[in-house]
């Protein structure tokens, strides 16, 4: 399986939302990270065939995306509500039909997925009455109904509690063994440990696409910790990117991203992906 995104551009009038995005995906999880307005959702919608690109192309196994591609696609949008008169089961039956599953196959898959997302006991309830987390889990289930070769998830863990998030991550990890998963999120820890590659998108362009460790290695020597007085925090923040601040007695322990030692008592720390994300999208800008 190979999905090639080649120089995809999208503009709305004079506003360029995507300015030539190119990357390639095969099996595994790809994390899509970027600030609000970076063009993540637009890119995802183009990949899902919901909007056309202004130029460039998306090729699935060397061919243009058509009905065959749609049959192998699973998609969870960022905002999803449900039909007011449907139960969870009816909703999944409806989507299964849209995806071309036979009734027998649909029933089997619905039972299996309902168990996986812990909704077995709620399948006969109207899904508009579900909690936010349950709705999200139902959304995840619908995306997996057709055993998609390409799974696109836009903010899939929004509204899930920590246990549900971990469970979701495990499902997706197992699932991605022989499939491609594109996971767009603001929650860096969602992709931190599972993503094969992280795609950082900014201002409508792919900034970089590497695995998480490569991003973290690049951060070696740029993550610092020091303690400062609370009244100096605001002033310090003006000149530095602070990734964390924890009160410690009369002082505040801060985690700082900086190319050089930001404070005479600052010590180097092991970087994580969140540091890399902040560095990519905040530090470079702040230092520019």
Partner 1 sequence: MRLLKLELHKTLTNKKNLIVLAILLVVYIVMGFSTTYYSYGGTENYNTYTSMVEEHTGTLDEAQGVVSTDAYTEAKNKYGSGEAIDHYKMADPVLKFNADYADFNTAVNDYYEGKEAGKQDIDNLIGIAPLQDKLTELQASGQENSYEYARYEKQLETEKELGAPTFENVSFWDSLFSNWSGMNVLLLLLFPIAYFIAPIFTQEVRTGMDNIVLCSKKGRKEIVTSKIITGVITAVVMSILFVAGTFIGTFAATGNMAGAGFSMRCLASFRTAQYAFTIGQFALVSVLWIVFIAIVFSMVALLISALMSNQAGAFGVSFIVLLVGMATEIFGSGLKKLLWPIVDFSFNSLGKLSSIFGGTTTYNLFGQPISYAMLGVAVATVMLSAFIIFVYAAQKKRIVR
Phi, psi of 50 (to 5 degrees): -90, -25
64 contributes a contact to partner 1 by CB under 8 A: no
277 contributes a contact to partner 1 by CB under 8 A: no
Which of 19, 86, 214, 269 is close enough to bind partner 1 by CB under 8 A? Answer: 86
Residue 218 and residue 276 in contact, taking contact as beta carbons nearer than 8 Å: yes
Q: What is the DSSP letter of 109?
A: H
- 167's enclosing H/E stretch is helix 162-175
Which of 23, 30, 60, 82 is close enough to bind partner 1 by CB under 8 A? Answer: 82
92-99: long-range pairs with CB below 8 Å, 24+? 92/123, 92/138, 92/141, 92/142, 92/145, 95/142, 95/145, 96/145, 96/146, 99/71, 99/145, 99/146
d(CA 142, CA 78): 14
61 contributes a contact to partner 1 by CB under 8 A: no
User: DSSP letters of 140-151?
Assistant: HHHHHTT--SEE
CB of 60 to partner 1, least distance (A): 13
CB of 82 to partner 1, least distance (A): 6
93 contributes a contact to partner 1 by CB under 8 A: yes
CB of 44 to partner 1, least distance (A): 10
Beta-carbon count within 10 A of 270 CB: 9
Closer to partner 1 by Cβ: residue 78 or 173: 78
Which of 21, 25, 95, 153 is close enough to bind partner 1 by CB under 8 A? Answer: 95
Query: Which of the stretches 64-72, 227-235, 242-250, 264-272 binds partner 1 when contact is defined by CB under 8 A?
Result: 64-72
The residue count for binding partner 1 (CB under 8 A) is 31
Query: What is the contact surface with partner 1 in residues (CB under 8 A)?
Result: 45, 48-52, 67, 70-71, 73, 75, 77, 79-83, 85-86, 90, 93-95, 97-100, 103, 106, 142, 146
């Amino acid at each position: 399986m190979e999905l090639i995104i080649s120089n995809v551009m999208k503009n709305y009038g004079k506003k360029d939302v995507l300015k030539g995005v190119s990357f390639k995906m095969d099996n595994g999880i790809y994390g899509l990270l970027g600030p609000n307005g970076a063009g993540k959702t637009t890119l995802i919608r183009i990949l899902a065939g919901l909007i056309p690109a202004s130029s460039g192309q998306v090729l699935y196994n060397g061919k243009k995306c058509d009905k065959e591609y749609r049959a192998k696609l699973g998609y969870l949008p960022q905002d999803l509500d449900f039909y007011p008169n449907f139960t969870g089961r009816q909703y999944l039956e409806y989507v299964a039909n849209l995806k071309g599953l036979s009734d027998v196959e649909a029933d089997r898959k619905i039972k299996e997925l309902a168990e996986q997302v812990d909704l077995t006991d709620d399948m006969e309830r109207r899904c508009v009455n579900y909690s936010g987390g349950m709705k999200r889990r139902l959304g995840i289930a619908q995306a997996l109904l057709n055993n998609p070769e390409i799974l696109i998830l836009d903010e899939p863990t929004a509204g899930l509690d920590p246990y549900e998030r971990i469970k979701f991550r495990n499902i997706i990890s197992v699932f991605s063994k022989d499939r491609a998963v594109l996971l767009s999120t603001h929650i860096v820890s969602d992709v931190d440990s599972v993503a094969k590659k992280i795609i950082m998108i900014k201002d409508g362009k792919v900034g970089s696409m590497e695995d998480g460790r490569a991003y973290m290695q690049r951060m070696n020597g740029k993550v610092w910790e020091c303690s400062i007085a609370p009244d100096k925090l605001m002033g310090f923040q003006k000149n530095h990117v602070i990734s964390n601040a924890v009160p410690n007695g009369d002082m505040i322990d801060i985690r700082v991203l900086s190319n050089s030692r930001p404070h005479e008592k600052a010590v180097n720390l092991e970087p994580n992906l969140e540091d890399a994300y902040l560095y990519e999208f905040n530090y470079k800008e702040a230092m520019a």
